[in-house]
Structure 1
């Protein structure tokens, strides 16, 4: 009998799905999952007739599908999941798989993975950017089927450095938490609360309108990427790789057309491959080739084959050339290990030529620094202006002015957002119009409190708001007092519960559940020894958009600010590289090519 093709199997599956036939349930299986042959035979005949496939072929397909469905059901009932294992030392396209019960602890999973991979050293396991705790079950740590487990191997000889490893892993964990909080907060007030509305721009510098869920993923990806780059600068390649791969996972949830509009994903691929090369991870070369191909396509789409599009957009291709230097160096290294020495040599020539184009004269840098520019500003300005000091100085100071204007606009946007948070929403749910508020207060001289209440009652209709202030100010005052008295006890109660020894975030979530009732919240926390249901916390978090920064603990605020500063204050910093490492690799591989030619 000929084996079933993919097309044949698809036909059988489609028939089962369209007719809502579940092989793991009666009448096709008994309670123990054993096949009921009469029902199976009937369905085989029916499928064979409908699809014109031979009965013996259909019977084989249905038998295999029945076995797989019953096995899958048993695993689900037993809480057994399949996990994909990637070891940071051998990162590449291939992964190992293990099947475990969610009831096992983190330390038991370590033992299973160590035996699977044949590793005697200690392991640190990371899933979704979070360190897997030793004593807690996998289920309590939200491990799911098909999750990727990243393994960091701690050599026996390095055990004395385990505290440093733990510290670094906690940095990874905090970066992930900060990025997630940052994305969930969504918008910024005055910066003190840590909620930032990250603006995503295309290659033209124009802000992109992106759906909320994709913007969330991009915000997390950008935060993790920048933290990974910070670790990469310290030459801690394995730890950097963990963060960069987590960023990669977030980018992959976005549509390809969104990724094609920005450079960030291409730069991330470049950074991942740089980690592979610097950590001498030869096993990762297949994955590296795919990433560099993707990176090159993205760069060419953004800047053109000869950077002509970049010249048209920005007037110069200076700083961006540094990315191409690294790209060509990495491609040359891959070709060398594929024994394609001629292509390797051509790419090294190309990389060296581009590196010379952006080589910076230190005397010119000193001249510009004498005018008040930083070394970084001076290097970028020279590269953007073909090393012309006069043009570079003009460009740099113009950039400063533009950056200051951007900061002013951002500060004003944050100010308005903070005011809208403080004012609350209108009756129809819209935020208070700040321009209308200023007109009522600054131009017409109305009381600020009355102006806010009037706009809220009138849904921002100016004429109705003016009429209410003029004709019924007492009602507005009463409404304002009620709002103030309703909000004030929450803040006071939270402080009192914290003083009683309860966790700040838990206390606030409990108060939110009891609508600010201090006595009820305190009684519940006392009886529950400070623990509350997870859904209370989620409901509390879901109310963030309508509440102020008091929703965050101090540690959460710090984590968000750390990530936000990396994302918002390092614009284009990835372009300011000295290329010393790239030049060193060019020399190294030229020497290796020469050695091969001589033999």
Structure 2
């Protein structure tokens, strides 16, 4: 009492209130703290929570109840005659049929019970259904839009066909595999849409989009290594407190990402590989049924991708053969198709333009030699022998006084080479020592590339577990690291 009186006398002048009024407020705070403490002790010992019910007509009741009962059971104790009750906990509306603890109700929560008539309830349910449908439609439209953008490569006019490009902090485009690029664009697209909705105060709809962003690109296993490395770096730099903070994040993430061995065994018993089981459980956050669906979906997607790639290669080879039948070489046809994004008509136009340009260049160079006074046959032969180099051809004609031997004037036979360009070009290319070296280098680096596209996420976490144990040992050493 004397302590309260002393506090009241100290703060009453500051608050410009009577000492008795400040003293009464302090006593009320003390009584509520004692009451709350007793309620906490009761909840710890018996799991019976204390709830403050704000009933219709300004009635207030303090009730004790377990949290594993439904909201309706609590409301029924006070004989509130209405067709339905909307139970509001703090700012969230809870379902009357579901358990309280499943909906975030805790010890000492304040619960407001509102009467809702049949008409009001029907209208409320209709509004909620319309809102849910609107959110689903918004998510679907967002996903479809960003899927379209993720599949565009910028080859068309950006003014009429917009596309997205992933760049670094300096604006330089990043080369990213198509699958990862699509996932990143979808995730970032949902995130940006969610942020825009938050600015418009549409928080429920924003949450739906942000959750989709999290589902589109789950790279937590990579962040585990990042946090672990950050913890190790902080320890090396002498910041033990920061190292412990990062290590706690690592341990929390590690516990969530470490797959359950029993669930993995069940998935493997269904015919899935160890890799598929591990990745599936991580993608589904440990849900066995969802993991099995995820693995089956990924298998189907990979098979469809293989079929599309085979069809793409088949179409490309057919297009190259068609261009070769028109007299172009295999290499030129392949390059033209690449620049034309596989369009045969565009590739033919590119080849035709380049042939005309080359012919014009040849005519110009040949015309220069004729202008110097050399014969046409000799000029053509000299250019052919020197690969079109005007200077070398001129020197050759000057050395031979403008007259070449009949053997050099006769062009080599081209019938066999033109008829089978596809067979000769690869053999000549492969016979070159330089090309053999390039092929060996390519084969060497391909051996180090993982055949599975999700290999970068397939971590067993064994190394991480060992490093976590080592870090904990370092940080618990005495004296403390400095």
Q: TM-score under structure 1 normalisation?
A: 0.32
Q: Indicate the structure (1 or 2) with the bigger Cα radius of gyration.
A: 2
Q: TM-score under structure 2 normalisation?
A: 0.39
